[in-house]
Amino acid sequence: MPYSLLKPCVWPALPALLLTGLLALAAPHSGQAQRAAGPDRPTDFLDPAFHKQRRDLVRQALPAGSVAVFFAAPVRNRANDVDFVYHQNPDFYYLTGYEEPEAMLVLFKEPQTINGQTGITEAIFVQPRNPEREQWTGHRLGTEGTKQQLKVQYVADNKDFATAGIKWASFQQVHFLELPADVRNDPRDPADLYDLVATFRQQAAVPATFDASASEVHKLIEQYGLKAADQLRPYLQRLSQEQAALGQDAYIQSYLAAKTDAERQRAIVNKPSSRFESGTLSSALDQLREIKTPEEIALLRRAVRISAVGQQEVMKATRPNMSERELQGLHEYVYRKYGAEFEGYPSIVGAGNNACVLHYIENSKPQVKNDLLLMDCGAEYHGYSADVTRTIPPSGKFSPAQRQIYELVLAAQDAAFKECKAGKDFQAPHAAAQKVIEQGLVKLGIIKKVEETRRYFPHGTSHYLGLDVHDRGTNGPLQAGSVITVEPGIYIPEGSPCDQKWWNIGVRIEDDVLITEKGYDNLSKEAPRTVAEIEAMMDRPSALDGFKLPELN
């Protein structure tokens, strides 16, 4: 799934040596364990010890005298009395393994006393058991289930948070990420997420004007305002244009107005003081989630292999008279067949001009015909998402023009793969892919100058992959244990200023790559990638060849 080149860069706020030290303090856990809210659930969820280790590492990153607060994701309404399928906040899941709504986690740097219980360093407040509600919406862990299965030190009903007696005024700093917004208040529930956030704001005295994004930017200026000014200033200028609140922030604008290092230094030291801070948590999670543990890699491998098999099976089944939505359904059937709970993102299945829309999700074309078909689809397995794209000719054979564009993108991806090495700059794969595409587009006569490349290759080549399809990470040098995508593409929509034979050709080839100590491992290599491999796979019989449904009049 393509990632915009205009997306904000992520700057590490914790020194690399600190991260190394944190990771060294806790050896990775091997194996996985059942974490089942009910009977007959899979046995390969992450072990509670994994989540405990993650909480400990975040606590260690906190400064003395501080507390960190995390909230579960809101329930989102789809229409009337129907909600969207619930998906947990990935940071909350990473730290707890808890999959239900209406909950919050509190981490204390130093042990605290809660409701008379001493020595508490972590507390989770969860929705209580409710047999009547569970009859309609499913089993809840409740406090006892959470204690037994997730092994958090202190567990209480969410309604007990208001009277927990946490001494918020005693903390030198209160750390939290952007608070959930636009949250519905269920009048039947006195301690739903709406009430939890409101109670936290009131008890911790969080100013109504506090802006988590501004807090993160302030920390970037403080740490990188001098040593990385050339990279930071254009990034902040772009952010200021995109977000009105940042454009009006006096500290950010005073830094941007500075012309010399001396002026920048004077601006930096005038950072407004606040007990409330977001940058430390965000940076700690960026660094921790960038490097996957062996347990996480096992789940990612599973998600990616499922997605690669999906690509294989859809290649064999595709015919020109099939619809985009039908092909989407085949991908997603394979995911469910192998136990994936969700798609990692809305499936992109676009033929012809639709393939030139980067995040095309309507998938509404009645017949794909003989236009190139771009399929950007990824299974989500136990929270971890794959992201695999293949582009195929529904007729089973590439036309000469289609083949030329496809093989140019393939060459760009091969060049990018060579840069997938620990220590290489995060942008190195993109730079290599872009150079190949620039030269190729000029050679084909599609552009006259390399500066025009962005018209046809408008996105980045790589992003991190994990609990989010565009996962957290530092965007620093590539590190062993990180998983990234490699996804160059060329998109030539109808009406483009080039020969019409190229119109309606959209090609993206995307693989999921694990960076290793010695190079990389292409996790999605089972999905055919070359022209010969794709055409051979499409020539194979499909298990669906004889599958016929009745006509609907």
What fold does the segment set 291-539 form as a domain? Creatine Amidinohydrolase (3.90.230)
Do residues 92 and 103 make contact, with C-beta atoms less than 8 angstroms apart?
yes
Integer Cα distance of 142 and 80 in angstroms:
27
Six-digit token pair at 343? 């798609």
Whether the full predicted model's pTM is greater than 0.95, yes or no, is: no
Integer Cα distance of 237 and 13 in angstroms:
20
| Regions in the chain scoring below 50 on pLDDT | 6-37
Residue with tokens 């989630």: 289
Checking DSSP bridges between strand 117-126 and strand 154-157, what pairing results, if any? parallel
DSSP sequence for 466-503: SSSSS-----SS--TT-EEEE--EEEE-TT-SS-GGGT
**What is the predicted pLDDT for the residue at 38?**
53
Integer Cα distance of 96 and 205 in angstroms:
26
**What is the predicted pLDDT for the residue at 5?**
59
Integer Cα distance of 378 and 331 in angstroms:
9
**255 backbone dihedrals φ, ψ, rounded to 5°:** -65, -45
**167 backbone dihedrals φ, ψ, rounded to 5°:** -85, 80
Integer Cα distance of 341 and 227 in angstroms:
45
**What is the predicted pLDDT for the residue at 271?**
86
**274 backbone dihedrals φ, ψ, rounded to 5°:** -160, 145
What fold does the segment set 48-204 form as a domain? Creatine Amidinohydrolase; Chain A, domain 1 (3.40.350)
Is the torsion defined by CA of 37, 41, 43, 46 positive or negative?
A: negative
Three-class secondary structure of residue 171 per DSSP:
coil
Domain ranges of the chain: 48-204, 212-273, 291-539
Integer Cα distance of 347 and 326 in angstroms:
12
Q: State pLDDT tens for residues 252-270.
A: 999 999 999 999 999 999 8
Q: State pLDDT tens for residues 489-525.
A: 999 999 999 999 999 999 999 999 999 999 999 999 9
DSSP sequence for 198-209: HHHHHHHT--TT
Is the torsion defined by CA of 154, 158, 159, 163 positive or negative?
A: positive
Residue with tokens 């007959």: 40
Integer Cα distance of 111 and 101 in angstroms:
26
Task: Locate the DSSP E strands across 241-364.
Answer: 276-277, 342-343, 348-351
**What is the predicted pLDDT for the residue at 23?**
42
